[in-house]
Structure 1
Amino acid sequence: MATFDLKSFSSALNETNKVQSGVDFTGKSLKLDTEKDAKDIVAAISACPDLYYLTLTGNTLGVAAAEAIAKALESHPELKVARWSDMFTGRMKTEIPPALKALGDGMIAAGARLKVLDLSDNAFGPIGVEGLAKLLQSEVCSELEELRLNNNGLGITGARLLAKALSSRPPKLRVFIAGRNRLENDGATALAQVFEKMGSLEEVAMPQNGIYHVGISALSEAFKQNPQLSCLNLNDNTIGPKGAAAVAQALPRLKNLKAINFGDCLLKSKGARTLAKAFKDNSTLLECLDLSHNEIGRAACKELVDAITVLPDSGERLSRVVLAGNSLGNAASKKGMKAQLGTAGELTDDEGESGDEDDDDDDEGTESEEESDAESEDENTEDSATEDAQHSVNTSVNTTASTNNITLDTSGIEEVKNDVERFLKEPTLENLERLGSNPADVIEAHIESTQDTEELLTQYVNATLSVAGLSLNSDSAGDAAQQLFARTIAAANKRAASWPLTERLLRGLALIKSEEKAPIRWHLPACYASLARALPLQFPAALQSTLRFFIGAKLANLPSELRDSLQQHPALLQD
C-alpha cells in the first residue's frame, strides 16, 4: 500500500505557490567579451536573493564573460530555469564550448538542480555538445524536465554525443525539442535509445531533421515506453508509408496523444490510410492534427476525416485539423469534409480540385519511390553538418601523416620569392638555418608586411608551428619558437583578434577540422612539447583554458604516438 508523504506534498505545494523571481536580460543585444562587460549581469545575479530563472536570450557571450557569470552562479543553488537561447551570435565555434563548460561548472559548484535548459538557436554543432557533456551528466540535470536544443547544427555526430551524455543518467524529461538539426536516421536512432530509458516524455518536437522511415521506426519504438506522450511534432521529415506504419503500431500505447504534426512528411495516401485506421481502431482522442502537404488523395483524406470524427465528442474536442496541400477532390468533397470538421478544419491551399476519377492514383509506385529515397539516405549516413562533425576522423588522418614530418615538393608549382617563404613551404632545419641567427625577427618582418589581419594571423600560426615542429631536434629552433609564440599573441592582441587566433591554433594543432586543403607540414609532437613550455608563461588565461579544453576532449581520439607525447606534458592537460 502506498504511503502519503505529507512533507513532500507540502514542499510541492509551496513550490507551486511561490512567486518566481530571477534575472532577465532578454533581447538587450549586449556583446559581452570581458569580465567587465558582464558586470551588470553579475551584479543583478548577486543582488537576486532567490534566482529561480536566468534568461540571457539575445545577447552574445565570450569565454571571459561566461566565466564571470558562472562565478556569480556559484552562490545560487536555487536556480531552476536557464533560458540561454540565441546567446552566441557572432562567436567563433571555438569560443562556445569553453563558455558553456564555464556556465555548467558554475551551476555544478552551486549544487543547482535545473528543471529547464534552453540553448536553442546557438549554432554550436557537435563541439558544443562536448562543452555541455559534463553538465548533462551531473546532478544539476538529474531533475531536468525540459531540454530545448532547437536549431543547434548538431548533425549525426552531435546527436550521438548528446545521446551518450544523457544515457549515463537519463533525466525524466517531459519536453524534448531538437528541430532543424540534421539528425538524420542515425542521430534519431541514437536519441531513441535514450528516450526509451526515460519513459517520461510528454512533448517531442524534432521537425526538419532529414529523418526517414528507419529513424521514425526507432523513435516509434521508444515512444511505446513513453505512455504520457501528448504532443508529437515530426514535421518536414520523410515519414512515408513505412514510417506511418511504425507510428500506427505505437498508437495503442499512446492513449494520451492529443497533438500530431506530420506536415510535409510524404505520407502519400497509403500512409494516411494506415494512420486513419490506427486512429479509429485505438479511439485516439486527438485535438490537433496537421497532415498538410503530404500528397494524400481525396479518398484517403476522407478516411482520415471519418476516423477522427467518429466519436461523438469530436466536434468539441477537435481544435485544428490541417489537410491543406493535399488532393481533396472537388468542391462538394471539400464541403463535406468541412462540415464534418467544423471550424477546426483547414482545407485551403490544396493541390487543385479533382473529381472522383483522380482518387488515389498516387498509391502505385509510392513504395518503390520511398524505398529508393530511403536507400539513398541510408547510404549517406556521414554527418553533413557544417560544424566539426567529422573532425576526429580528419584529425587522426592528418596527425598520422604529420608525425613523420612530411614535407612537400612544391617545385614548379609556385615561385619562392625569399628564404622565409622557402622555409614555410618546406620547414626543415636546413631552411631554418638559412634565415640566420635571429630567425624569429626575420619571420616576423616578413609576416608583418601582410595587410589582411586574418591572413596575417594564419601566417603567424603556421610559421610558429613550423619552427616549433623542429624544437626537439634543435635548441635554437626551440628558442625561436618561444619568441614566435609571444609575437603571435602580441599580434593578435594588437588587432583585437584573440579568438581568430584561437581557431587557427586549434586547426594547426589538429584539434578541429581545417577547412583548408593543405596538409599539416609540421611535426605535431614537437609542437605540443614547445607549446607546453610556452603556455603557462605567455598565453592569456582564457586561451590557456580553451586549448586545454580541446586537448582533453580530443585526447582519446588522437593517434597513440601523439597521445603518448601529450601525456608527457601535464601542463597541457590540467587547469
Structure 2
Amino acid sequence: MATFDFNSINSALTDTSRLETGVDFSGKSLKLDTEKDAQPIIDAINACPDLQYLTLTGNTLGVAAAQAIAKALEHHPELKIARFSDMFTGRMKTEIPPALSALGEGMITAGARLSVLELSDNAFGPIGVQGLAKLLQSDVCSQLQELRLNNNGLGITGGRLLAEALSASPRKLKVFIAGRNRLENDGATALARVFQGMGTLEEIAMPQNGIYHKGVSALSEAFKHNPNLSCLNLNDNTIGSKGAEAIATVLPGLKKLKSINFGDCLLKSKGAKALAKAFKDNSLLLESVDLSHNEIGREACMEVVDAVTALPDATDRLSRVVLAGNSLGDSTNKKTMKDKLGPSAELSDGEGSDEEYVSGSESEGESDGSDDENTEDSAPEDAQHVNTIVELSREINLDSSGIEEVKSHVEVFLKSPTVDNLTRLGNNAADVIDTHLQVIKDPSDLITAYVEATFSVSGLSEESQLAHQVALDLYPIMLKRAGQQHASAWLLANTMLRGLGLIKSENKQYRIRWKTSGCYRILAIAVTSPTFPIPLKDTLKFFIASRLTSLADRTIVEQHPQLYLS
C-alpha cells in the first residue's frame, strides 16, 4: 500500500522555484512614462489569473506609469515575488521614491504576501527608504524571506532608516543583500541589531560598504544569533585583524556555514591566522572560501590551507578556495597548497613580497574607520546614469548689456546672502526674488533655487526683522512654484533636508551658505500654516526627530516641538 510523505508534499507546494505563472518584462529597455506606455504590462497583469511573480527589471518607469501598474496589482493578492531592480535608468532621483511608493500601495491594497522583494540598482538613497518604509512595515512583507537592496545609495542615514523600518514589525528573513551602499559602521551596526532579533538568516551579503572592525564586531554579534547562516559575504570592507578575531569567536556556533567571502578586507596575516584556527578547531564544513588580496603572508596562507583541508572529505567538498593576491611563497609552497586543495585552488601571488606582508606590526596602518564614520551618504558608483539633484549656486545667464537693475541685485544676494544685500532688494524682496527665479526652466533647478533662496533669507532672520518677514513671505511662494513641477514632493523634501543639514549632498562641492538656526526658527512658523503640505511636514518631522540628538541646532529645535513631535 502506498504511503504519503506529507513533508515532501508541503515542500513542493511552498517551493518558489516551481512557480510558473506570472509576468516577466525583464531586459526589454522599455521607457514607460505614462499609463498608455505601461498598457502592455497592465494588460499582461490583468490577463494572468495567478500572478505569482512580477519582474520589471531593466526598464525605466516614470511615476504615472508606476501608478497605473499599481492599480492593476490591486487585484492580485496572490503575488509572491516582486523583482524591481534596475528600473529607473535615466530618471531623476526624485521620481524613484514616489514610483516605488505607488507600487507598494498597489500591493498593500491587494493584500499580497511577498516572499521575495528585489530592489537592487535603484539609486533612491536615504529618502527613498522612507518611501519604502510603509511597504516594509506592512503585512505585505510579513512573510518576506529575501530582501535584496544592492547598490541603492543608502548611506549611513538610509541604513538607519532601513533598520528602523524592519524593526518596527519584526521580520524573519532568510536572505539579506545590501552591497555597495556605503553603510559604514553606523549603518551596519543599526542593521546588526535588527539581525539579532531575526534569528533566521541564512545568507548575508554586505560587500563594499566601508565597514571597519567596529561595524564588523557588531555584525559578528548578530551572526551568533543566526545559527542557520550558510553564506557570508563582506568582501571589500576593512575587517582587519580585529574584525577577523571578532568573527572567529562566533564561528563555533555557525555549523551550517558553507561559504565565506572576505576578499579585499585587509585581514593581513594576523586576521587570516585567527580565522584559520577557528575553521580548524570547529571542523567547519566549508565549501567556498575567498580570502584574496588581503596582504596575507606565506605562513598564514599555509595555515588557512591546512585548516580548510583538515577533514578527510575536504577535496570532494571544497569547490573554491581563493588566496590569489597574497604572498604564497616559492614554487614548492604553491605546489603543496595546490596538492592539498586540488581543483578548488585559485592561487597567484600578490604585488608585494612575502616579507612586506609579514614584517612589522600587524596593526600598523589598520584604521578603525573613526575618521570615516561620519562621511557623506554616497550614491552607488554605477548609478551615476541617474540624474541627480543639481547644485544651485551656478550662474543664470542674463542679459547684462544694460545698466544693473534689480535682477542683478538678486544675483548678488544669492551669491552672498547678507543683510545689506537683502536690503538692496527693497520691501517687496520676496516678489523680486520670485520674478528672478521664474526664468529657470529645469524643474529640478527651479525647485532647488527657491529652497536655497528661502534658506538664504531665513538664515538672516535672527539678525534682521526684514529677513524674518521676507522669509515668511517666500515660503508660500516656494511651495506654490514647487507644486507646479513634476515629482515636486520628493524633490522639494530632498532639497530642504539637504539645506537643513539633515542629509548629506551627493555633490561633494555643495556647501550650506546660510545659518541653519535661523532656517529652523522660520520653518517652525511656516509649518503651522494650514497651506503647508502635510506629507512634507511629516517627512521633515521624521528626519528632524531621528537626527535631533546630533543636531548642532538641537537647543533651538527643541524650543519648537512642532518640528519633531507628531
TM-score bucket (shorter structure): 0.7 to 0.9
Q: Tell me if structure 2 keeps the 8 A contact 1:205–1:233.
A: yes
Spell out, residue by residue over 1:306-345, the C-alpha distance to the aligned partner (whole angstroms, 9 max, x if none): 1211211111111111111111111111111111111111
Spell out, residue by residue over 1:414-453, the C-alpha distance to the aligned partner (whole angstroms, 9 max, x if none): x993345557846989956568xxx96x777655666777
Separation in 1, partners of 2:132, 2:493: 22
Separation in 2, partners of 1:236, 1:132: 27
Which stretch has the larger CA shift, 449-458 or 199-208? Answer: 449-458
Q: Tell me if structure 1 keeps the 8 A contact 2:447–2:491.
A: no
Which among 373, 396, 418 is matched to residue 405 of structure 2? Answer: 418
Which among 373, 381, 387 is matched to residue 373 of structure 2? Answer: 381
Structure 2 counterpart of 1:335, one-letter code: K
Q: Tell me if structure 2 keeps the 8 A contact 1:464–1:485.
A: no
Residue 246 of structure 2 aligns to a residue in which SS?
helix
Identify the residue that residue 23 of structure 1 maps to in structure 2.
Answer: 23
In the TM superposition, residue 216 of structure 1 has moved relative to its aligned partner by: 1.4
Q: Tell me if structure 2 keeps the 8 A contact 1:78–1:112.
A: yes
In the TM superposition, residue 261 of structure 1 has moved relative to its aligned partner by: 0.8
Residue 378 of structure 1 aligns to a residue in which SS?
coil
Structure 2 counterpart of 1:78, one-letter code: E
In the TM superposition, residue 516 of structure 1 has moved relative to its aligned partner by: 5.2
**CA distance 1:253–1:500, change in 2 (3 Å):** same
Q: Tell me if structure 2 keeps the 8 A contact 1:114–1:144.
A: yes
Structure 2 counterpart of 1:186, one-letter code: D
User: Which runs of no fewer than 5 residues in structure 1 stay unpaired?
Assistant: 389-414, 493-497, 536-543, 568-572
Matching of residue 507 in structure 1 with residue 495 in structure 2: yes
Separation in 1, partners of 2:149, 2:241: 28
In the TM superposition, residue 529 of structure 1 has moved relative to its aligned partner by: 6.2
Identify the residue that residue 396 of structure 1 maps to in structure 2.
Answer: none
Question: Greater Rg, structure 1 or structure 2?
Answer: 1
Listed as ranges, the matches of 1:492-531 within 5 Å are 492=485, 498-499=486-487, 503=491, 507=495, 515=510, 517-519=512-514, 523-524=522-523, 527-528=526-527
Which stretch has the larger CA shift, 181-190 or 343-352? Answer: 343-352
Residue 95 of structure 1 aligns to a residue in which SS?
helix
Separation in 1, partners of 2:272, 2:493: 53
Listed as ranges, the matches of 1:122-161 within 5 Å are 122-161=122-161
Separation in 2, partners of 1:153, 1:216: 20
**CA distance 1:416–1:489, change in 2 (3 Å):** farther
Identify the residue that residue 392 of structure 2 maps to in structure 1.
Answer: none
Separation in 1, partners of 2:439, 2:128: 36
| Equivalences, count | 508
Provide the identity percentage. Answer: 56
Separation in 2, partners of 1:49, 1:285: 44
Listed as ranges, the matches of 1:311-322 within 5 Å are 311-322=311-322
Residue 367 of structure 1 aligns to a residue in which SS?
coil
Listed as ranges, the matches of 1:466-545 within 5 Å are 492=485, 498-499=486-487, 503=491, 507=495, 515=510, 517-519=512-514, 523-524=522-523, 527-528=526-527, 532-533=530-531
Could you state the TM-score of these two structures normalised by the residue count of structure 1?
A: 0.76
Separation in 1, partners of 2:273, 2:469: 75
Which stretch has the larger CA shift, 502-511 or 76-85? Answer: 502-511
Q: Tell me if structure 2 keeps the 8 A contact 1:447–1:459.
A: yes
Identify the residue that residue 550 of structure 1 maps to in structure 2.
Answer: 539
User: Which runs of no fewer than 5 residues in structure 2 stay unpaired?
Assistant: 381-401, 414-418, 549-556
In the TM superposition, residue 454 of structure 1 has moved relative to its aligned partner by: 6.0
In the TM superposition, residue 246 of structure 1 has moved relative to its aligned partner by: 1.5
Spell out, residue by residue over 1:282-310, the C-alpha distance to the aligned partner (whole angstroms, 9 max, x if none): 11111111111111111111111112112
Residue 264 of structure 2 aligns to a residue in which SS?
coil
Could you state the TM-score of these two structures normalised by the residue count of structure 2?
A: 0.78
Matching of residue 366 in structure 1 with residue 362 in structure 2: yes
Residue 232 of structure 2 aligns to a residue in which SS?
strand
In the TM superposition, residue 361 of structure 1 has moved relative to its aligned partner by: 6.5
Listed as ranges, the matches of 1:145-294 within 5 Å are 145-294=145-294
Residue 369 of structure 1 aligns to a residue in which SS?
coil
Residue 54 of structure 1 aligns to a residue in which SS?
strand
Q: Tell me if structure 2 keeps the 8 A contact 1:419–1:434.
A: no
Structure 1 counterpart of 2:91, one-letter code: R
Identify the residue that residue 400 of structure 1 maps to in structure 2.
Answer: none
**CA distance 1:156–1:430, change in 2 (3 Å):** closer
Structure 2 counterpart of 1:519, one-letter code: W
Listed as ranges, the matches of 1:49-128 within 5 Å are 49-128=49-128
